[in-house]
Structure 1
Amino acid sequence: QVIPHVIDEIKDTISEAARLSDNNPKTAAASNADICIVEIGGTVGDIESLPFLEAIRQYRHDHGRENTLFVHLTLIVQTSEMKTKPTQHSVGKLREIGIQPDILICRTSEMLTDKVRSKISLFTNVPENSVINGLDVDLVYEAPLMFHQQELDNTILTYLQIWTGSPKLQPWVDLIDSYKNPRDEVDIAFIGKYVAHRDSYESLNEALLHGGIANRLKVNLHYVDSELLTEKNVLSQLEKMDGVLVAPGFGERGTEGKIAAIKIARTKNIPFFGICLGMQMAIVEFARNVVGIEGANSGESRPDHPENVIDLMPEQEGQEETGGTMRLGSQTTILEKGTRIEKIYNKTTISERHRHRYEVMNYFVPRFEEAGLTVSGRHPERNLVETIELAEHPWFIGCQYHPELQSKPLKPHP
């Protein structure tokens, strides 16, 4: 039953997440988290969200008001004036469920006036100093500074009776300054098959933004649909680019366009970076056009062919049900000393996240290396190819893993 079984499971999950705050069961006992943040998406009143709202209502009952804080995000509609009625109704719906927000964050395109803030406070029963302006900003990383200016951090800590020192916000100030005042800009061709839906590459988009900010560069991404790339039109789309990124993906669709782009990057000395499928297609392109394996391809595009330089890992062969069978999660890679990738990381042992079924076939690697390709990183136990590069190229690197998943705004990765 939804009550109590589903509700209890949700509450237990929250408690477990707080206990395992570092996501490592081995060190759970040493966890020292002060706050566990739980986000409940959707819209108040949706059927889907009701069990979760009931769970947090009970959670406050179980743990006390002094140990729980409800922050509600609302939208202030802007026409000729600010409309507060949707916010009033949203809070009213929450109160019907048994939840009284302690803080309101009101998304707006303009600053709330004192009159509007007072009106919201009156009809939602939220203190005026807890009605926070969530002003639209150019860059989401401006939000911490905006909330600090309204003392949201101090309001939360006071409510929860947590005492701490002043926040160290100078790195965020520097980050925003770097973003708004770049010293130069670069144009990157972003080659992918899902570019019509750019949120599909959100981690990559953000990682490139992080890298640009760290180097005080504006990164202009030029999204190119790999399905539309051909040998005839690829040069015109890439010749003015400062770099080419071939993004991850699955399936045969768009692979020939990626291969065409990689060939231009390699032969025209345009800096290249291939991730996951991007690296695999770099191997295919090199095999075809440098090594001379004319039929080189991936088993994902053409199964059971002797010239597949990319194919299923042994444990994947014969799998009829593919759900939950990928090589997934953090894996160790040993980097070759003196390679470009080793200099980037400044260490020889790294751990990166993976998500794939296909791998470079080691049978072909000696021929690749003889032709000038360097296998610069391998898995220490299974000898799988993890990174490649071309020493004679200004910048040509591919990796099987997803480095973008570890990038942070104040700590680009690697």
Structure 2
Amino acid sequence: MTSPAAAKTPLIFVTGGVVSSLGKGITAASLAAILEARGLRVTMMKLDPYINVDPGTMSPFQHGEVYVTDDGAETDLDLGHYERFVSTRLSGKNSITTGKIYDAVIRKERKGEYLGGTVQVIPHITDEIKQRIDAATQGFDVALVEIGGTVGDIESLPFLEAIRQIRTERGAAHAMFMHLTLVPYIAAAGELKTKPTQHSVKELRSIGIQPDVLICRAEQPLPEGEKRKIALFTNVPERAVITAIDLDNIYKIPAWLHEQGLDQLVVEQLRLEGAASADADLSEWAAVVDASQNPIDEVTIAMVGKYVDHKDAYKSVAEALKHGGIRQRTRVNIKWLESEDVERLGAEAMLSDVHGVLVPGGFGDRGFAGKVSTAEYARKHNLPYFGICYGMQAAIVDAARNLAGLEGANSTENDKQTPYPVIGLITEWRTSSGDVERRDDASDLGGTMRLGLQDQRIKAGTLAHRLYGADVVGERHRHRYEFNNHYRAPLEATGLVFSAKSMDDTLVEMIEWPQHPWFVACQAHPEFLSTPRKGHPLFVGFIRAARENKAGGQLLNEAAA
């Protein structure tokens, strides 16, 4: 008879110590990729200790990118790492914050679900965490659960207590701990120092968690003597002390960890039937690395954004550009440009030396004029242009002002009094007859975010249709403002093509200039569906166009494209 513990998905908990930003997310995703390469069905989740319900309202300068899943959940950027490394499509269940947990518990208390009892961190908060973990991981062969922050943070304690309880309840064969820590090299002494790792594990053990595996972040592979020392002082087997060095390509990490036997340790401890004797087939990752390391071409792409001083705000876009290059053995160099600088110095001065320009999403008036002038410059100079979200809206404003004669055209996000609101909240331009209505609950009429995966119909004969090779595609969205349908006719008269619309024809999803070598803009965020092993057709097409621009209109090395 199967025990309750055995019926649940085996879990690998990933914690971190000493300092943040050691790479827990990438390490966890890389291990997940290896386990998937051994034929296992893998899922991942992130437990974030901040009290915000989700990162949707957090500043990009502080938090970085907000990653959106199919179901419209606004999540931590680590979920982007997860989806780029494994084939599982994640959802809001895979992203938990302290805010979500406390909000759920307080709602239950207000409804009387605790029967008037005193509500406490233990057991009510920890039970809620455990229930969320079970709900997100059921039905898989193995799940990796990353705990944000570092050991010793007061905010993380409820999560750590919850995973300690899970290990006690299920046993070592159904839940294991992997701890990522730092082994710094002190140049003045010429030595690697293991004390930070020892103290980090000591802190972890003080709350009842003994790591099964240590991932030691270091500048160089740990000598055997240092590994033995760490194993002795942390009560971790020497073969379970794994070195994580700085690599020049994050897609090399799965092979690096596999060579040290990390996946075999997991398979043995969690008794993952069917994978114990199977070796990991990492050939796809080897092909990705080979294409990255041995390019046949090279292009420079300008990224004109509002948060370029904090590049994590555009993490998925930057990775998707690289993926587009990988698919055709092309190195993509990103020239990061602040849109306010384009505004101040002029597009000619900033963009004359690049092979293509991408204008990503954003919110607010700051720097928007620079995005509009970027779209205008690209349109006039036949420079490949890829607009995403706000980048599409900037291109529409350019066309309205400079080609349709709509002087002062703008988005109502930036100018409530604009005489020509070509972009606005749907409630601002929907007619009284109701000729425009949202197509589902995720796209309500209240001016809130349009979030998550939504289908769109691609117009036959367009560049977008050739790139996708499909009549209907699904893309993830994250925006409030839409193209104002009242301006379709005057903009179409300029030659602008609306190449994709919502399934009910009410919302413009993509635009392009057919007379331009490559000018495509979309309201959705295709970067969220790009992976290194497959790429995304829009990014692959954009990089190909940049190569053609560099080659003077005739692409070389056709066979590699």
TM-score of the two chains, using structure 1 as the length reference: 0.93
1:304 is displaced (CA, Å) by 4.1
Distance 2:459 2:446 in 1: 34
| Cα deviation, residue 381, structure 1 | 2.2
The reply on whether 1:88 has 2:198 as its aligned counterpart is yes
Alpha-carbon displacement from aligned partner over 1:180-215 (angstroms, at most 9, x marks no partner) = 111111011110111111111111111111111121
Following TM superposition, by how much is the alpha carbon of 1:238 offset from its aligned partner in structure 2, in angstroms?
0.9
* CA shift for structure 1 position 338: 1.5
Structure-2 residue corresponding to 1:305:
418
Q: Is the 8 A contact 1:231 1:260 kept in 2?
A: no
In 2, are the aligned partners of 1:316 and 1:357 still within 8 Å (CA)? Answer: no
| Alignment match, 1:243 | 356
C-alpha displacement of 1:168: 1.4
Task: Using the TM superposition, give the Cα deviation of residue 230 of structure 1 relative to its aligned residue in structure 2, in angstroms.
Answer: 3.2
Contact 1:103-1:126 at 8 Å conserved across structures: yes
Task: Pick from 228, 242, 246 the counterpart of residue 132 of structure 1.
Answer: 242
Report if aligned partners of 2:129, 2:162 keep a CA contact under 8 Å in 1.
yes
Hey, what does 2:263 align to over in structure 1? Answer: 153
> What is the aligned counterpart of 1:3 among 122, 135, 143?
122
Match of 1:66 in 2: 173
Aligned-partner SS, 1:351: strand
Q: For residues 408 and 57 of structure 1, what CA distance do their matches in structure 2 show?
A: 34
Higher RCO (Cα < 8 Å, 6 or more apart) = 2
1:167 is paired with a residue whose SS is coil
1:128 counterpart letter in structure 2: E
Name the counterpart of 1:46: 153
Q: Deviations over 1:198-235 (max 9, x none)?
A: 11111111111111112111111111111122386211
Report the counterpart of residue 112 of structure 1 in structure 2. Answer: 222
Would you say 1:141 and 2:225 are equivalent positions? no
SS in 2 for 1:305: coil
Distance 1:252 1:324 in 2: 18
Alpha-carbon contact 1:375-1:387 (below 8 Å) kept? yes
| Distance in 2, Cα, partners of 1:307 & 1:281 | 14
Which position in structure 2 is the counterpart of 1:97?
A: 207
What runs of 5+ residues in structure 1 fail to find an aligned partner?
20-30
* Deviation at residue 382 of structure 1 after TM alignment: 5.4
Distance 1:366 1:74 in 2: 59
Cα deviation, 1:69-92, whole Å, max 9, x if unaligned, reads 110001001111110011111111
Q: Report the RMSD for the aligned CA atoms in angstroms.
A: 1.7
Q: 1:122 aligns with which of 225, 232, 241?
A: 232
Alignment-derived partner of residue 329 in structure 1: 452
For 2:286 and 2:414, the matched residues in 1 are separated by: 48
Partner of 1:25 in structure 2? none
Counterpart Cα distance in 2 of 1:382 and 1:5:
47
Deviation above 6 Å: which 4+ runs of structure 1?
none
**Bigger mean CA offset, 374-383 vs 260-269:** 374-383
Q: Is the 8 A contact 2:423 2:481 kept in 1?
A: yes
Distance in 2 (alpha carbons) for counterparts of 1:324 and 1:154:
50
The counterpart of 1:57, out of the listed 156, 164, 172, is: 164
Contact kept? 2:412, 2:421, Cα under 8 Å: yes
Instruction: Tell me the distance in 2 between the aligned counterparts of 1:105 and 1:253.
Output: 42
Alpha carbons of structure 1 residues 96 and 323: separation in structure 2 relative to 1, 3 Å: farther
SS of 2:406's partner is coil
Task: Determine which of 492, 498, 503 is the counterpart of 1:380.
Answer: 503
Could you tell me which residue of structure 1 aligns to residue 390 of structure 2?
277
Q: Distance in 2 between matches of 1:242 and 1:259?
A: 18
Point out where structure 2 has 5 or more consecutive residues left out of the alignment: 1-119, 431-444, 538-561
Which residue pairs with 2:6 in the alignment? none
TM-score if structure 2 supplies the norm length? 0.69
Match of 1:13 among 132, 156, 164: 132
Q: 1:324 to 1:279 in 2, by over 3 A?
A: closer
Please tell me whether the aligned partners of residues 130 and 152 of structure 1 are also in contact (alpha carbons under 8 angstroms): yes
Q: CA deviation at 1:302?
A: 0.8
Alpha-carbon distance between aligned partners in 2 of 1:56 and 1:324, rounded to the nearest angstrom: 39
SS at match of 1:235: helix
Q: Give 2:369's aligned residue.
A: 256
Match of 1:403 among 511, 526, 534: 526
8 Å Cα contact 1:388/1:397 also seen in 2: yes
Task: Show CA shifts across 1:309-339 (max 9, x none).
Answer: 111112899xxxx999211111111001121
Q: How does 1:310-321 map to 2 (within 5 A)?
A: 310-314=423-427
Query: What is the SS of the residue equivalent to 1:250?
Result: coil
- For 2:246 and 2:336, the matched residues in 1 are separated by 25
Say if 2:429 and 2:486, in contact at 8 Å, map to a contact too: no
The alpha-carbon deviation at position 369 of structure 1 amounts to: 1.2
Q: SS in structure 1 opposite 2:142?
A: coil
